A and B are shown apart, each in its own frame.
Chain A
Amino acid sequence: MRELLIEPFQAGYMRRAIVEIVVLGVLGGVIGVHVLLRRLSFLTEVVQHTVFPGIAIAFAFGQSLLVGALTTGLASVVLLTMLGRTRRIDADSAMAVLFAVFLAVGVVVVSRRRGFQSDLTALLFGRILAVDERQLIDTFVVAGLCLVVLAVLHKELVLRAFDQGGAEALGYPVNRLDLVLDAVIALAVVAGIRAMGTVLVVALVITPAATARLLCRRVGTSMAVAAVLGAVGGWLGLVISYDASVHHGWRLAPGATLVMVLTIGFVLVAAGSWFVRHRRVRALVVAA
């Protein structure tokens, strides 16, 4: 067992990958609790795709991927706010339009290049095993920044999620709080994209948090549990994909594998909690 869990990390690229994924898992878990509180799952899904053209363009011109991703991610948040303000279409529809258009721009840009298929794959699904030390530092900085912001504004953000009217009545600038949280989500997504790609990063945010919500009642403990689940799920996923390809000759994409681990965890917990609830309610009905 010990060998299975530790041995893969003899290799330098695996060590970097594990550090990267643990940091991202913790960050995603903590942010995910906020995402679920505010019901921003769709926004997260959209943001992970709207950063795609930024990455594609930066990639095509050999610029920093992080800067490209941040630029279009920010542009999409601004556009969303503007579309929302017109009151002509609802928020979900606006997000669907942005999702489609930004993704399409990315696809068009990438497809101008020869042999674009493998570039596209790398951008969409990330290359966690190719993370280098500079990227690790980027991730540390972004994760630290996000976690500090969330810690400082914790009670205000939770209040706003619970009761917008109440927060406004108390004099909090609700719009600015929303923008801060949106920006933190966008930052975290950007940080995760090189490792996880623009399709799967949403899983690091939503899945551990959803699992934690089934297990805990309090926001604080949910965050702790989600962070642990994210980190452990990431670790296990990496180990499984490494073991499968090195010892069994199966090539399993590491990002996809770790998302599967997180998803299976969620399904098990959901089944368990459903079973417990069901028994309790049946007892109630019989009593009635």
Chain B
Amino acid sequence: MAEVEAALVLDGVTAAYDRDPVLRGVTGTVPVGGSLALIGPNGAGKSTLIRAILGLVPIVAGSVEVLGTTPAHARALVAYVPQADQLDREFPVSVLQVVLMGRYRMVGWLRRPNAAHRRAAMDALAEVGLADRADERFGVLSGGQRQRVLLARAVAQEARLLLLDEPFNGVDATTTDALLAVLARLRADGVAVVMSTHDLSVAHLACDEACLLNGEQFAFAAIAEALTSERLKATYGSSALLLDDGATLLAR
């Protein structure tokens, strides 16, 4: 694949869910190795935007360019990390099997993962600090640990663009540190990161750009520039509370 400058180019993206448009006119660029936080209240369209970048939601107007091509063509190079809570905890799969799922496209149809794939999966698991839990059932892990396993799955996929849905939602401090460390390492290797989040402090730690969303785009800029009190107030409306010292409290 030829070198591309931008990992992700959004140009006036309008996306629709079940024919109802929920997101309008999102425009911006994430460079290779860059990172973007999607910030906005619940129902603002953060997940829809992520799904549009994955090509899972129809785009009514505008365009999405992923790694110099269309979302459908770039899929093998894009990894998606869902919220751990969305997955069935009773499902009989081991932690290692979940991580291996990231490599299924490399394994190909009708084949089983070989030793090299297992090694890659174990390495990814070791990076999130859970190598000793590889044989346990996914569902018995804590929420934070499951979130780390899902990140390990994305690492094992060796993607160039990583999309995370609320990765820091309700996780413990160990997990937050582990996730931040892995994301920093990936970015140093040239992987671009896009995550939705409610947590402004984590957004500051993990990302250098932010996109404020609430049905439409309120800002798409360097994070310090985007996350000003005025802009947050404009995005969140009455659920943003400005404190005397200039800090902003956001209700979900």
Contacts and interface: CB of A to CB of B under 8 A. Distances in A.
B19 A288 contact: no
Nearest to B14: A288
B20 A281 contact: yes
Interface string B123-160: 00000000000000000000000000000000000000
B117 to A, nearest CB: 32
B21 interface: yes
Contact of A281 (B14, B19, B61, B90): B19
Interface residues on A, range: under 10
A284 B90 contact: no
A285 B24 contact: no
Contacts of A281: 19-20
A281 B90 CA distance: 38
Contacts, number: 16
A284 B20 CA distance: 8
B90 A288 contact: no
Contacts of A288: 14, 21, 24, 60-61
Interface in B14-46: 14, 16, 19-21, 24
Q: Is the interface of B mostly helix, strand, loop or mixed?
A: strand
A36 to B, nearest CB: 20
A163 interface: no
A285 B90 contact: no
A31 to B, nearest CB: 30
A168 interface: no
Interface in A240-268: none
Interface string A266-282: 00000000000010011
A178 interface: no
A62 to B, nearest CB: 45
Contacts of A285: 16, 19, 21, 60
A280 to B, nearest CB: 10
A285 B59 CA distance: 12
A207 to B, nearest CB: 24
B237 to A, nearest CB: 21
A31 B20 CA distance: 32
Nearest to B16: A285
A90 interface: yes
Nearest to B60: A285
Contacts of B20: 281, 284
Contacts of B21: 284-285, 288
Interface of B: 14, 16, 19-21, 24, 60-61, 90
Q: 10 tightest A-B contacts by CB?
A: A281-B19, A288-B21, A281-B20, A285-B21, A285-B60, A288-B14, A285-B19, A288-B24, A90-B90, A288-B60
11 contacts: A278-B19, A281-B20, A282-B19, A284-B20, A284-B21, A285-B21, A288-B14, A288-B21, A288-B24, A288-B60, A288-B61
Interface of A: 90, 278, 281-282, 284-285, 288
Given A282-B19, A285-B19, A285-B60, 7 more contacts: A90-B90, A278-B19, A284-B20, A284-B21, A285-B16, A285-B21, A288-B14
